[in-house]
Amino acid sequence: MEPGNSGVSVALIVLLFFVCLDFGAAVDTITASRSIRDPESIISSDNAYKLGFFSPGNSSNRYVGIWYNDASEAVIWVANRNKPLNGASGVVNISDDGRLVVLNEQREVLWSSNVSNSVANVRAQLLDSGNLVLYDNSDRSIWESFDEPTNTFLRRMKLTTNVRTGENVMLTSWKSPSDPSIGSFSAGLNLLNIPQVFTWNNNIPFWRSGQWNGREFIGITNVTSVYLGGFELVENKAEGTASLSFEFAIDSTTYFVLDTEGRLLQNNRVDGKEWQIRQTYPENVCDVYGKCGEFGICSPRSEPICSCLRGFEPKNIEEWSRGNWTSGCVRRTPLQCESKNKTGDAGKEDGFLKFGMVKVPDFAERTTALEDRCRELCLSNCSCIAYAYDAGIGCMSWRDNLTDVQQFYSKGTDFYIRVAHSELDKKDMKVVIIVPVVVGAVVIAISAFFLWRWMAKRKDFGAAIDTFTASRSIKDPETIISSGSAFKLGFFGPGNSLNRYVGILYNDASEAVVWVANRNKPLNDAHGVVTISERTSAPKDRCRVLCLSNCSCIAYAYDSAIGCMSWRDNLTDVQQFCSKGTDFYIRVAHSELDKQDMKVVIIVPVVVATKEKSSLLQREEGSRNFSGENKSKDKLQELSLFDFEKLATATKDFHLINKLGEGGFGPVHRVIYGCSLNLCSY
């Protein structure tokens, strides 16, 4: 090779090297010389995340965002969430003053990174954590997307609060699945006394996690053990700041998202592939903040779910009876310490009632007192109305209202409420009865027998919590609830509709419907029933005998493919067909059998007198109504006179449902001819 050609080759190699170097940097980086245009994108070095342009849901608007680089394409951050691009002409680049900007076709800035000082030679890089970071020429971070999250909380991200400056880093929901602009819900840290995580609906508390005890939030009971210790909450009391982050060693793919309904969803990847919602907060209706009002307690497995704490009674009994518990409860008997301060009357000292396994109320104050001193400190202070102790928090006390108390069925905290001594007499005074050992043994044996009988009777009822059977149906508005309390099956009316449907719903504040049974045939009133028809292998000739021999059997039918079917409870959704169908036999008293064969009467309103309000009824009786055989013309011409009001009643005011047709003399309607010519059995 000639020397001249050798020099050219070296120059080309060097040029290609720098071109490739710049191209390589563009894989996860945006620079002043390399922007991205719709539909271009950049991808993190581990291929986990992608930044580019997208259109959410059914929207035609374009947004710049970060999403998982997998089949789900779950969006975790949006730049121009409040100012969408109207077409596919957007550009993301570095401005002259060192800001990351989103520009439209007219070169207008729709969004920019919040950088106060002008900086040159900056670059934006999408990291393997999903964080988009803006670096200056010294590789110092001057802005990052983790400081301006949208609706998603990722590992290593920090939710922060500063009570002095009021600055917060929090999540904000999308307005809808097709609109990522800021919605009604937000989530973040609340540093009042003891740190908690809150979600707010237009700044009104919607859900809270319970107090942080250094390892977990004590208001959440369903946290899997492998996730305990994964959260880190750093609090600086002197500066009034706190930050929350998480890093689960066993599961690095977890993330949380605040959805449009205000639910905080924990998502995990299943087998390294599909995403699955592992937890939902709020999980049930009792998780909704202050569901039962002040001094009320919510128990998701009780009916009704709200009740007053012992020693308290409803503030508004009429509202409570209607299922509106927001007014809460009031103390039934004044405290002794309050009376003593007012009248000087000592009386009997107040005491405490214990509530085990509860989510303790909001607005707790804490001290460093040990557990054995916690009760004494509260009792000596008349303004203290309740206390609780947690090893990680210390002694907690409450002075004012007790709000957002929930009964748990596992974990939870022992909670002690101050009540007047007379309330202790009603609930906690112990009576000791001394009886001979032999008599005690007899009583125990008898009690055990009746308890066994009672449990046997209750067995079927217990199954009805999440089960209905042929002997136990559900009637509107009854429901059954899954064992984990996540779902319920029952009756509902969607939106503004008056129709009723049977469906499966999330058993939480959203009551989102996931399945509908009678979606094409709604119920017109609140008298629906869900039951199970029973079938046996009995042949057709035995079906009637079996039903008649069982008093609980109220009807039977036979189908060659199904077999013998019988019913025990209500008969719902029965329809008369004009062809095909099944022969259906209903059990009635013998006296009703005499009325059983009254036939259909055809009403032909030949003449309707406007003055006398009368009409003529042409009637044919017996099984030969429509054949016309064996009947004389005189019989066919027999006419009876009826009042207009009776005809209107018998035909439901000549409703179209009873109209058989129309001829030269007018419309023809039908009625069921019953106990007399008054047509009273319609």
Please work out, in degrees rounded to the nearest 5, the angle formed at the alpha carbon of residue 488 by the alpha carbons of 484 and 490.
160
**What percent of the chain shows pLDDT beyond 70?**
76
Domains of the chain: 29-179+208-261 (2.90.10.10), 296-337+349-423 (no CATH), 538-570 (no CATH), 646-681 (no CATH)
**Res 441: pLDDT:** 61
Q: Which of 576-580, 607-611, 637-641 has the highest mean pLDDT?
A: 576-580
Q: Which of 91-105, 428-442, 658-672 has the lowest mean pLDDT?
A: 428-442
Query: 561: pLDDT confidence band, cut at 50, 70 and 90?
Result: confident
Yes or no: say if 342 and 382 are a contact pair by the CB < 8 Å rule: no
Q: Which of 65-69, 358-362, 433-437 has the lowest mean pLDDT?
A: 433-437
**Res 552: pLDDT:** 82
Average pLDDT, the chain: 81
Give Cα separations from 194 to 163, 216, 241, 290, 547 (angstroms): 13, 13, 12, 18, 66
**Res 529: pLDDT:** 83
Q: Which of 201-205, 528-532, 545-549, 588-592 has the highest mean pLDDT?
A: 201-205
Q: Which residues contact 261 (CB under 8 A, 6 or more apart)?
A: 185, 509, 510, 512
Q: Give the pLDDT mean for 232-241.
A: 93
Q: Give the pLDDT mean for 551-566.
A: 89
Instruction: Tell me the pLDDT tens digit for each residue of 120-153.
Output: 889 999 999 999 999 998 999 999 999 999 999 9
Tokens representing 353 are 């009632």
Instruction: Tell me the pLDDT tens digit for each residue of 281-310.
Output: 999 999 999 999 999 999 999 999 999 999
Query: 470: pLDDT confidence band, cut at 50, 70 and 90?
Result: low
Instruction: Tell me the pLDDT tens digit for each residue of 244-274.
Output: 999 887 677 899 999 999 999 999 888 777 8
Q: Give the pLDDT mean for 323-334.
A: 95
Q: Which of 37-51, 121-135, 472-486, 590-604 has the lowest mean pLDDT?
A: 590-604
Yes or no: say if 630 and 660 are a contact pair by the CB < 8 Å rule: no
State the number of CA atoms in the 13 A half-sphere of 383 facing the CB: 3
Q: Give the pLDDT mean for 58-73.
A: 96
**Res 134: pLDDT:** 96
- In sign, the C-alpha dihedral spanning 399, 403, 409, 412 is negative
Residues 468, 489: Cα–Cα separation, whole Å? 10
CA 162 to chain centre: 32
Residues 205, 203: Cα–Cα separation, whole Å? 6
- Whether 681 has a pLDDT exceeding 60, the answer reads no
Query: 240: pLDDT confidence band, cut at 50, 70 and 90?
Result: very high
Residues 663, 658: Cα–Cα separation, whole Å? 15
